[in-house]
Amino acid sequence: FSREGFDDAGSGPLYLQLQRRIADAMTSGRLAPGDSLPAERDMATMTGLSRVTIRKAIQSLVASGQLIQRRGSGTFVAQRVERLEQALSLLTSFTEDMARRGRSVDSLWLSRQIVSPAPEEIMALGLGAGDRIARLERVRRSDGVPLAIERASIPLSALPDPEAVATSLYDALQANGQRPVRAVQRISAANLAPRDAELLAVPAGAAGLRIERIGYLPDGRVVEYTRSLYRGDAYDFAVELKLAP
């Protein structure tokens, strides 16, 4: 970004001129998804514009989802994701879903602990007094793009050591003979709170899907209670409907 071409008279407010210039750089590929923008004060030096003007231009691109701001690390060009179609009728794991598409997976762990359950976890898992659980919180990513935040609560009888979950929770449960064979899933709409939006690299308030899964063992015991937030811009859920009897 240089000083040339900013025009006080004819071409509209300076912040709009700068906004257009940043947008053009993204369209032409000079700024690619994931690239960081120079710091506000450096942009002010480069362009000769005031920091107020710079901030105003950036804020409107952040509001429209083209730029992402992360506290402490700066401003980035937003990553566009291709939408994934996800079947709703099959009990699969995130790892399996991505492997089927030939995509890589990794997790950013937020926490992985043995804890005393909260009342809603006691209810969902049907626990007794004094039972403890494994609680796993992570950002699920595929090909480096964050897609969901998942918080899984598992009885210790099914997962005595939460550290045993390397990538796949279902693989760890399978190894203990405790993989769910049936699940009930609920999906509802949610606007992503600032912290969740930041973890998912979308603008605060962006559309998300809250997905709750309760997984059962063959004997009917609950083995998984997972609450997730999925990116609304990344998923299409599809299910086949049959004629009612």
**Residue at token pair 């890589």:** 104
Nearest-CA neighbor of 155 among 184, 178, 181? Answer: 178
Nearest-CA neighbor of 148 among 91, 238, 194, 209? Answer: 209
Of 1, 170, 199, 222, which lies in the binding site for ligand GLP, with binding defined by CB under 6 A? 170
Q: Minimal distance in Å, beta carbon 58 to ligand GLP?
A: 34
94 binds ligand GLP (CB under 6 A): yes
Q: How many residues does the chain have?
A: 245
Residue 175 token pair: 């190894």
152 binds ligand GLP (CB under 6 A): yes
Q: How far separated are the first and last CA of the chain, in Å rounded?
A: 65
Q: Minimal distance in Å, beta carbon 131 to ligand GLP?
A: 20
Q: Measured from the CB atom, is 239 or 244 closer to ligand GLP?
A: 239
2-10, 64-72, 81-89, 162-170 -> range binding ligand GLP (CB under 6 A): 162-170
Nearest-CA neighbor of 110 among 151, 49, 54, 168? Answer: 151
Q: Measured from the CB atom, is 17 or 107 closer to ligand GLP?
A: 107
35-43, 62-70, 163-171, 197-205 -> range binding ligand GLP (CB under 6 A): 163-171
Q: Minimal distance in Å, beta carbon 33 to ligand GLP?
A: 24
Q: How large is the greatest C-alpha to C-alpha distance in the chain, in angstroms?
A: 76
Of 19, 53, 142, 228, which lies in the binding site for ligand GLP, with binding defined by CB under 6 A? 228
Q: How crowded is residue 129: how many other Cβ atoms within 10 Å of its Cβ?
A: 5
- Please say whether the beta carbons of 170 and 156 come within 8 A: no
95 binds ligand GLP (CB under 6 A): yes
153 binds ligand GLP (CB under 6 A): no
169 binds ligand GLP (CB under 6 A): yes
226 binds ligand GLP (CB under 6 A): yes
Q: How crowded is residue 40: how many other Cβ atoms within 10 Å of its Cβ?
A: 14
The rounded radius of gyration (Å) of the Cα atoms in the chain is 23
Distance CA 72, CA 121 (A): 34
168 binds ligand GLP (CB under 6 A): yes
Of 19, 66, 75, 93, which lies in the binding site for ligand GLP, with binding defined by CB under 6 A? 93
Nearest-CA neighbor of 95 among 141, 134, 138? Answer: 141
Q: Minimal distance in Å, beta carbon 138 to ligand GLP?
A: 8
Q: Minimal distance in Å, beta carbon 81 to ligand GLP?
A: 16
Q: What is the DSSP string of 27-51?
A: HHTSS-TTPBPPPHHHHHHHH---H
What residues make contact with ligand GLP under the rule CB under 6 A?
Answer: 93-95, 150, 152, 168-171, 211, 213, 224, 226, 228
